[in-house]
Structure 1
Amino acid sequence: TKHPFMKDTYESLIEDIAEVAGYLWNKGWAERNAGNISVNVTGYIPASLRDKPALCPQVKLPKAFVALSNQYLFVTGTGKRMRDVTHKPFDNASIIRINSGGDAYEIIAEQPIVPTSELPAHLSIHCWLKEHRSDCKVVLHTHPTDLIALSQTTKYKDEATLNALLWGMHPETLIVLPKGVGVVPYEVPGTMEIADLTLRALESHDVVIWEKHGCLAIGENIIDAFDMIDTLSFALMSSFLQMHYGYSLSHFKFECIY
């Protein structure tokens, strides 16, 4: 059964990606070239693109992502800005095709835009999703100011403490994110180390905070992935306002939600 927000056409998927890129910029979560998006579009890629010759030489990957063999992914480009993705997606992103061994990729559309430097982390996650969460096609990484600020504090680096705060601020947070969020200690962006830590966190969460760096969400579609991060940000901003005005945080009882 198709998810109610899952688009039926390749063109509609690209439109949604462009729309969310605009949201990220307008939210202030995409300074300069911050953040990246990847979507497994294999089930939606037009026949005209499937066997299209590569636009540039094949690029070797740091490891073989076997589950992604012969898969097609939309990936935003390195150094590209979300504010530009929203207006001209294919001036700032590309479609890549993973080879049959899963250890290399080639760009097939629409221009030879080099993928994000965090491609290894994205591919690791997509590989895991293909094997364990095949319903999820999207990996969204962005820089929500409030979530990054909170990740700087010792108290809220603790996952249980952080989730108690987020769930306790607004009933929608628990409804939208019943698994809460995972917390990944700081690692150098774009490395396999941060990818491996993220995969562990995704075993029990759909959203992960990268300490001092940003946030990553997986979803069936780009709108769902954005909405989860947006819901977290709303809850956190509510708590910041309470603390700013000197009010103590008063959390409701979870059993009152249903």
Structure 2
Amino acid sequence: MNSILENNPALAAEIEKVAEVAGYLWQKGWAERNGGNITVNVTDQADEELRGRAPISEPIAIGTTLPHLAGRYFFCKGTNKRMRDLARRPMENGSVIRIADDCAHYEIVADNPVMPTSELASHLAMHEQMIASGNGYKAALHTHPIELVAMTHHAPFLKKDVLTRLLWSMIPETRAFCPKGLGIVPYRMPSSVELAEATIRCLEEYDVAMWEKHGVCAVGPDIFEAFDQVDVLSKSALIYIAARNMGFVPEGMSAEQMGELREAFNLPK
């Protein structure tokens, strides 16, 4: 069977974005071995050919019920697949899935029977929240930014909003482009429903969810926007660590300076 992308340029363009971001994650050292996951809601790009395709897998349980996802289509990085390979050959290292009408199962429909990410429950729960909120977001990203993960090994940074305020204060762009900040999800077993539920609660309040001692989850209108959220936070972490390596604690922007920035950009408090 021919690739579903051959006659669907809109879907091909979305998956090309995924491939580009997968390359960035590998180059930054945020995606060791098979680390990290990407899912994108491609329902808008699901043409008649894709919708008419017979499944190439049996129905597979999600592990939870997600009522807003019935009949939706997602491109997912495959489990045990490497970001560097996803960047080069996305349809060999990912697959398109369709959520069943019972909202509790999915089927693989294209191109190969590549099982989706082991974090699928967390990712689909994020998509459920995005659709329910009506924010128009279509992409979810999980990755392992080195400096941000390192900061979660320091207990004082895990207190509510401590890390957000620190990272905001390092450079104005972080306050402007990550206006709700970084929420902390206390350590939970990877791939668990408990982790998915905690992530959703976190993303109701923050732009990005930080999984303690593990990685981050970010969402956005497309995969570029989700990546950018993590990128600006990581830049702030690097600035903080660079200052500490030079032997001083960076003073950061003052509360007054951040207040001026909030007013100028009409940012939330």
Alignment TM class, shorter chain as reference = over 0.9
Shift, 1:78, TM fit: 0.5
> Which residue in the other structure is 1:5 paired with?
none
Deviation at residue 256 of structure 1 after TM alignment? 4.3
Is the CA contact (8 Å cut-off) linking 2:64 and 2:193 kept in structure 1? no
Question: Deviation digits for residues 82-113 of structure 1, max 9, x if unmatched?
Answer: 00000000110000001111111110000000
Per-residue Cα deviation, 1:133-186 (whole angstroms, up to 9, x for no partner): 441111100000001000110111113211111010000000001101110000
Which structure 1 residue ranges, 5 or more long, are not aligned? 1-7
- Partner SS state of residue 30, structure 2: coil
Deviation (angstroms), 1:60: 2.2
Aligned to 1:41: 42
Mapped partners of 2:134, 2:236: distance in 1: 27
- 1:248 deviation in Å? 2.3
Equivalent residue number for residue 4 of structure 1:
none
The equivalent of 2:211 in structure 1 is 210
Letter in 2 for 1:146: E
SS of corresponding position for 1:159: coil
Work out whether 1:91 is the aligned partner of 2:95.
no
Provide the rounded CA distance (Å) in 1 between the counterparts of 2:252 and 2:239.
12
Equivalent position SS for 1:233: helix
Of stretches 48-57 and 165-174 in structure 1, the one that deviates more from structure 2 is: 48-57
Check conservation: 1:159, 1:181, Cα contact below 8 A. no
Give 2:76's aligned amino acid.
V
- In structure 2, C-alpha distance between the alignment counterparts of 1:68 and 1:256, rounded to whole Å: 41
- Matched AA of 2:77: T
Q: Tell me how far apart the structure 1 counterparts of residues 64 and 155 of structure 2 sit (CA, whole Å).
A: 34
Question: Which segment drifts farther, 130-139 or 80-89?
Answer: 130-139
Matched residue, 1:141: 142
* Separation in structure 1 between the aligned mates of residue 66 and residue 213 of structure 2, nearest angstrom: 28
Deviates more, 1:109-118 or 1:51-60: 51-60
Match of 1:175 in 2: 176
Equivalent position amino acid for 1:191 in 2: S
Matches within 5 A, 1:128-167: 128-167=129-168
Counting only pairs closer than 5 Å after superposition, residues 234-253 of structure 1 correspond to structure 2 as 234-252=235-253, 253=257
143-152 vs 243-252, which deviates more? 243-252
Higher alpha-carbon deviation: 128-137 or 214-223:
128-137
Q: What SS class does the counterpart of residue 43 from structure 2 fall into? A: coil
Deviations along 1:26-53, one digit per CA (max 9) or x if unpaired, are 0000000000000111011222111200
Counterpart in 2 of 1:231? 232
Tell me which amino acid in the other structure corresponds to 1:24. L
Structure 1 residues 134 and 255, CA, compared in 2 at 3 Å: closer, same or farther?
closer
Task: Deviation per CA, 1:46-91: give whole Å up to 9, x if none.
Answer: 2211120011211122222111000001111100000000000011
User: What residue number does 2:267 align with?
Assistant: none
Alpha-carbon distance in 2 for matches of 1:133, 1:29: 30
Residue 79 of structure 1 corresponds to 80
> Take 2:142 and 2:203, find their aligned partners in 1: how far apart are those partners?
14
In 1, Cα distance between equivalents of 2:169 and 2:134: 28
CA distance in 2, matches of 1:42, 1:103: 17
Equivalent-residue separation in structure 2 for 1:221 and 1:131 (angstroms)? 17
Q: Across the two proteins, how many residue pairs are aligned to each other?
A: 251
Q: In the TM superposition, what whole-angstrom CA distance separates every residue of 1:175-230 from its partner, at most 9, and x where no partner exists?
A: 00110111000000110101111111111112110000001101000000001100
Does residue 255 of the first structure (1) align with residue 255 of the second (2)? no
Moved more, 247-256 or 13-22: 247-256
Equivalent AA in structure 2 for residue 227 of structure 1: D
Structure 1 stretches of 4+ moved >2 Å? 255-258
| Corresponding residue number in structure 1 for 2:4 | none
